[in-house]
Amino acid sequence: MTSNDLFPTERLADSDVRVLLLENIHADGAEFLRGKGYQVETQDGALGEDDLIEAIKGVHLLGIRSTTYITEKVLDAANDLLAIGAFCIGTNQIDLAAATSRGVAVFNAPYSNTRSVVELAIAEIISLARRLHEKSTDMHNGVWNKSAAGSHEVRGRTLGIIGYGNIGSQLSVVAEALGFKVVFFDIDDKLALGNARRCSTIEELLETSDVVTLHVDGRPGNAGLFGREQFEMMKPRSLFLNLSRGILVDTVALRELIESGHIAGAAVDVFPIEPKRQGDPFESDLRGLKNVILTPHVGGSTEEAQQDIGRFVASKLRSYAAYGGTSLSVNMPEINLPADASKHRLAHVHRNAPGVLATINGLLGEHGVNIEAQSLSTRGEIGYVLTDVAKGVAPEVLSALAALPETVRLRELT
Ligand SMILES: NC(=O)c1ccc[n+]([C@@H]2O[C@H](COP(=O)([O-])OP(=O)(O)OC[C@H]3O[C@@H](n4cnc5c(N)ncnc54)[C@H](O)[C@@H]3O)[C@@H](O)[C@H]2O)c1
């Protein structure tokens, strides 16, 4: 079976678009898509492979979170699927290569929980500086310890941010508003926001910071980024936070340096091994330490973030289904051609081979179709071209485009 048999050229009215949203996605997502006239079905839980293979037939847009696995077998059964919305940050649960080779676009919400992580980091820095967690635990144990010893204001202190991406840079702005001096280190050239100062080495940052916080990504090579050597380079009685990736940090070294008093406190939200299911036991070298705040990977988990994810991913699915827009797609070449209701739009996903654009345009020219706007982008083995033409393209033109050997998928839009 060729990909053309799997995905015939289709022109869908909004009322024919079928959407399946699994895993209790925020209601705003369903509401947005229903507002566009789509038929939306929602289910609270995830589906296993066999159930999903049944459920996905006839579905055009699928929404999942992190526990529904989109395997090649599922995609083989998804004969009408246009796009998958991962209403979360990660997309490891999706066989992206299989989706791409079938012309199925995948979208996620990489920025929806940035603010939530930043707010938790700020809350934890102040809590650690004032030893709130320790004092509250004492009180619950019936101990009244009214003392200023070891409690500090954060005003005028230096915050060292390692990884100045979405989260690190937003934290920089909020921390300055609280009176922090901010320094940062990033392996890429990053614009320093506000009065933040860039450090040229991680060592320079460690030697100057009263609080060190990690916000790097999980690229290969970052595992073990922070070990004994880095902790020892930190200022005596400084604070440490990791809300980014568990694999970055040597937790045995962190424990020892907290016990020795070199590190005055720590907040950790991510762990090298995390329990898989709610209620599974949690093991860590960091359990039972004073002035250490442990949280179960909830840095980005707020109702606001969930709502934002619901709206953001739903709007990406809509934009792709209706106009072919792929901006911020995880797997497809990115194109965002402005929609023009007076035109007819052809969305063509093809294998990225020399001469495909020339062939498409030659074919359109032969049939007297004038191109009014066009945008092409490629990514790895896939090419994607949106072409706006005058309304009323003859069916034989579409058949000829669909029959090109490089065609993965052709859609008529608007
Ligand atoms: N705790 C949570 O619930 C939660 C929620 C969201 C994101 N995160 C994690 O937070 C981290 C940051 O997220 P983001 O959206 O800001 O990512 P991002 O990709 O926008 O930023 C990461 C930054 O780290 C830099 N970087 C990578 N390796 C580095 C290194 N070795 N040294 C210095 N800089 C380095 C990159 O250049 C980039 O600027 C990610 O690991 C993400 O998975 C955690």
The residue to mutate among 91, 122, 205, 215, having the most atoms of ligand 1 within 8 angstroms of its beta carbon, is 215
**CA count, 13 A, side-chain hemisphere, 152:** 17
pLDDT at 11: 73
Rounded distance between C-alpha atoms, residue 197 and residue 205, angstroms: 10
Strands (DSSP E) found in 54-108: 61-64, 83-86, 105-107
pLDDT at 32: 97
DSSP label at 14?
A: G
Identify the active-site residue in 130, 262, 297, 311.
Answer: 297
pLDDT at 2: 40
Ligand 1 environment, Cβ below 6 A? 89, 113, 117, 162-168, 185-188, 215-219, 222, 225, 243-245, 269-270, 297, 299-300
pLDDT at 4: 42
Atom number of ligand 1 nearest to Cα 269: 1
pLDDT at 10: 60
Rounded distance between C-alpha atoms, residue 344 and residue 327, angstroms: 20
Burial, 391: exposed, middle or buried (Cβ in 10 Å; 0-12, 13-18, 19+)?
Answer: exposed
DSSP 232-254: HHSPTTEEEEE-S-GGGB-HHHH
Which protein residue's CA is at the shortest distance from atom 31 of ligand 1? 222
**CA count, 13 A, side-chain hemisphere, 197:** 13
The candidate with the shortest Cα–Cα distance to 382, out of 330, 343, 345, is: 330
Per-residue pLDDT of the chain in tens (414 residues, 90 and over written 9): 344 444 445 678 999 999 999 999 999 999 999 999 999 999 999 999 999 999 999 999 999 998 999 999 999 999 999 999 999 988 999 999 999 999 999 999 999 999 999 999 999 999 999 999 999 999 999 999 999 999 999 999 999 999 999 999 999 999 999 999 999 999 999 999 999 999 999 999 999 999 999 999 989 899 999 999 999 999 999 999 999 999 999 999 999 999 999 999 999 999 999 998 788 999 999 999 999 999 999 999 999 999 999 999 999 999 999 999 999 999 999 998 998 888 899 999 999 999 999 999 999 999 999 999 999 999 999 999 999 998 778 889 999 999 999 999 999 997
Identify the active-site residue in 65, 157, 245, 350.
Answer: 245
Distance 380 CA to ligand 1 centre (A): 24
Which protein residue's CA is at the shortest distance from atom 8 of ligand 1? 244
Distance 226 CA to ligand 1 centre (A): 14
H-state helical runs in 47-182: 49-55, 72-77, 96-101, 114-130, 132-140, 166-177
Residue 4 has φ and ψ, to the nearest 5°, of -65, -30
Length of the chain in terms of residues written? 414
pTM here? Answer: 0.86
Which protein residue's CA is at the shortest distance from atom 15 of ligand 1? 166
